[in-house]
Amino acid sequence: MRELHTLPSSRRWTAPRAAGLAAGLAAGAVLVACSSSSTNAAIVRTSSPTPSESASAAPSESASASAAASPSALASALASAAASAAAFAASADAQQVMVHDKAASVLAQEPDGGNALGSVTLTEVPREASGGLPAVFVTIENTGIDTASYAVQVDFTDTSGNTVDSAVVGAEHIPRDGQATPVAFSRRPTDERLLPVVVKAVRY
């Protein structure tokens, strides 16, 4: 496991239950994100890919490999990857349609990192499950004494620390000691590995 640092914080990107959550995503059982803006940074812990993940190439990588076969094979691979990405994004947007606007409004009123950075962890969604889109499961834990709602902003940054895209997710009425797992994603498929960073998290 390798740890990547930006600005000091308590944010961690871990890999618990990733396989089960990926299965839930494929069944359309999770909440997902839409684009927004960026601010602060955090510490993110990334997990090394499993042998099965390493053996399974992302759609964009498969498309590149197909180029050696024939132009028609490349076109077919690209079309398949685009269709998978579109389906993933559509399912994601549908799951967040009721909470995204409220979450974005809450975050817009927060000038700093928010009061819930310690309640959020990120786990990477395998590229084969997201149609090649950079995506993460956003696990939100309500450690308070009352039911609460949460708004979270995730930035996707390149290896130089520049923000490439941002996403906002929300989860409402999480009971005490309960969890929610929306999904934040970037609409920009890229062969470059992007680092997801929680920049704001607000409990309200």
First to last CA, the chain: 33
Tens-place pLDDT, residues 68-99: 557 766 566 656 667 777 777 776 666 666 88
Question: Residue 93: exposed, middle, or buried by beta-carbon count in 10 A (0-12, 13-18, 19+)?
Answer: middle
Q: Provide the domain count of the chain.
A: 1
Tens-place pLDDT, residues 39-61: 333 333 334 344 344 434 444 44
Domain, as residue range, for 19: 2-203
What are the counts of helices (DSSP H) followed by strands (DSSP E) for the chain?
6, 12
Q: Among 204, 183, 82, which Cα is nearest to 138's?
A: 183
